[in-house]
Amino acid sequence: MNQRGRVIPVLIETEMQNSYLNYSMSVIVSRALPDVRDGLKPVHRRVLYGMSELGLRPGSGYKKSARIVGEVLGKYHPHGDTAVYDSMVRMVQDFSLRYPLVDGQGNFGSVDGDSPAAMRYTEARMTRIAQEILRDLDKDTVDFVPNFDESLTEPTVMPSVLPNLLVNGSSGIAVGMATNIPPHNLGEVIDALVAMIANPDLTVEDLMTHIKGPDFPTAGIIYGDVGIDEAYRTGRGRVVIRARANIEISKNDRENIIVNELPYQVNKARLMEKIAELVREKKIVGINDIRDESDRDGMRIYIELKRDAPSATILNQLFKHTQMQTTFGVNMLALVNGAPKVLTLKEMLGHFIEFRHEVVVRRAQFELDKAGKRAHILEGLKICLDNIDKIVALIKQSKNPEAAKEGLMKQFKLSEIQAQAILDMRLQRLTGLERKKIEDEYLEVIKTMEQLKSLLASKEKRMLLIKEELLEIREKYADERRTEIIRVTEEFSVEDMIAEEDMVITISHAGFIKRIAVTTYRSQLRGGRGMTAASTREEDFVEHLFIASTHQYMLFFTTKGRCHWLKVHEIPQAGRATKGRAIVNLLQLSKEEGIAAFISIKDFDPELFLVMATKYGIVKKTSLAAYSKPRKGGINAIGIREGDDLIEAMLSNGNHDILLGTRKGMSIRFHEKEVRDMGRTASGVRGIKIGKDDYVVGMVVIKREGTVLVVTEKGLGKRT
């Protein structure tokens, strides 16, 4: 309605847009985002102010949380009691805040996700470090505004000496935006602030020599500094956090995984449930038991492994499939002059220094005004003491206090304030000792005023004072970094968590593959009977046996000319008595495909070549580097003509001879330089002319001066 009481038609979409805009701004400014100056959201600020008004300082007794919540709700924060209590609970939790601001007594939740006790059971008061956020609040350092019903006033921001936004971080979801600022180490942040005060032109790179990266209350390990660098330069980045896990050897010589630290905000109980679920679904094989052995001395998750289980592989699988590795998405969004802004590290530190400068100026002006008023009164008291007999006589002759005040003001040229102070003065102050105290106090006040005037006149002195106050905070509250940062130049791969060791790989005629550590076998004398390397089904037998490192690649070439590759550590590790796992379960093969050849390599050396041969005498040479980018379904290694099959693939350095042999005993030898280097999908060239009902059965790549041993199906052999 307008002022005349008439209804004004408004389009519903217009009203919705305007109303939602008002709502979103209210959420952004008044609920979800922290202020860059004190690092607090309105609810946290009101909780601390309410506790301060209740006198809940570190040295005082505790009060029921319900009393605190009621104080905050009734006076400053007209929202739900659950929201206020939940906010206060988080301020207590030492696994949520790097430096808790509320000291709680009772059950305030746990890292297992346990709910806190109801507010009627718990008690709280402020911590010592929270006092630094409210320091000088009574010295006109910040503005106060009316509360929701205008019956009281509350501070718009706290005059925090503590760089709380960086130190404790913040997270919140507003409308169309969110903030997620990680916590940091107090000592490192103050070192950066001190350095920036000394040299405001420092770059982010310079500041990072002081602030190494986030420092989470639950410790953990940050892998890589690329995300940290990006976050500090742009305000946005991704930080990878891993649990701190160690592999321990038990009394029965089994390897077990011990987890002592978890990534930030990971629920321990849910993590253990997830691990158990992965074991039940056989997505992780080799875990025998998992139990929580945490106590008051710290966290300890005990993951018991089966005998001979690959501990490094299992640990890597835990990082991949569970919250033992998480990503913290940094978004340093905060309110600057009431508006949301994404801040770089330097901007965030700069805003805090500017705020501290403003607080110091306002505090100095307040103290100067207060000292000036006190000096004015002391000057009046001095006049009184110099003329004590006359003043006493004047007061005795006066009819009432007002007449005495007027007489003092008129006869001794005193102000109303001075005259009132003289009338309020007790007779004991007329003694000689009290006179000396007044004179000393006056001199001290004058000295203080001179210092304050000097401070207000010099920005250099103000910045020096800010620095001294920060160093005082560092001395009182700084502690050691908890989160370790491992700086790497590239993203961590599986190999970074797996020890390099030699493996015996066996492949059976029926296509079963497995690996087993070389150390499983022992050296025997000439007459030794050996030991079982693999068990096979009837009519199956071990067709290939070779040694390769866990960090090497295995290239598998199919009869249809496709190439698949695995890392050796991805091949299932099994005991000597097991047959292994079918290759078709590891590689995506079609029904008509089989494995024709395989090669183990350390890397894709561009100086090496792959030489391939088909059943009908086609040969091809391709640079090994062409096979360095695999796909899930494999890649084409050679173009196979209809009816033909790939029969062999071997490595060469480009200076060897190639020898082809057929079923009917025919062979040909030629230098591989006669075969030009071709692309990966090419079909190759003719290497040998095949007679009727004949085909190639083998190929070798040999040195020209080498010796060839040929063995037939019936066991006849010939060395040439």
Catalytic residue among 23, 121, 477, 695: 121
Task: Enumerate the β-bridge partners of residue 557.
Answer: 563, 597
Which H or E run contains 461? helix 459-477
Distances (CA, A) of 574 to 316, 512, 584, 690: 18, 12, 17, 42
Backbone angles phi, psi at 249, to 5 degrees: -100, 120
Contact partners, residue 530, CB within 8 Å, separation at least 6: 524
Helix residue ranges, H only, 141-237: 164-168, 186-198, 204-207, 226-234
CB count within 10 Å of CB 553 equals: 20
Instruction: Return the DSSP state at 295.
Output: B
Cα 705 to chain centroid distance, Å, stands at 60
Cα 582 to chain centroid distance, Å, stands at 40
Per the CB < 8 A criterion, the answer to whether 532 and 575 are in contact is no
Say how far apart CA 423 and CA 419 lie, in whole Å. Answer: 6
Type of residue numbered 231: A
| Tokens (6 digits) for 465 | 């004072």
Contact partners, residue 49, CB within 8 Å, separation at least 6: 76, 134, 154, 155, 158
DSSP string, 87-151: HHHHHH-TTT-SS-SEEEES----TT-PPPPPTTT-EEEE-HHHHHHHTTTTTT-S-EEE-TTSS
Picking from 352, 263, 339, 334, the residue whose alpha carbon sits closest to that of residue 301 is 263
Contact partners, residue 170, CB within 8 Å, separation at least 6: 33, 34, 39, 41, 179, 180, 181, 334
E strand spans, 531-652: 542-549, 553-558, 562-567, 581-582, 595-601, 609-614, 618-623, 635-636, 646-652
| Gyration radius (Cα) of the chain, Å | 40
Distances (CA, A) of 228 to 224, 255, 342, 483: 8, 34, 15, 13
Catalytic: 62? no
CB count within 10 Å of CB 293 equals: 10
In degrees, rounded to 5, the angle at the alpha carbon of residue 577 between the alpha carbons of residues 574 and 578 is 50
Distances (CA, A) of 66 to 121, 122, 199: 8, 8, 47
Say how far apart CA 227 and CA 488 lie, in whole Å. Answer: 11
Q: Are strands 221-223 and 484-486 parallel, antiparallel or unpaired?
A: parallel
Per the CB < 8 A criterion, the answer to whether 185 and 210 are in contact is no
Residues acting as catalytic residues = 121
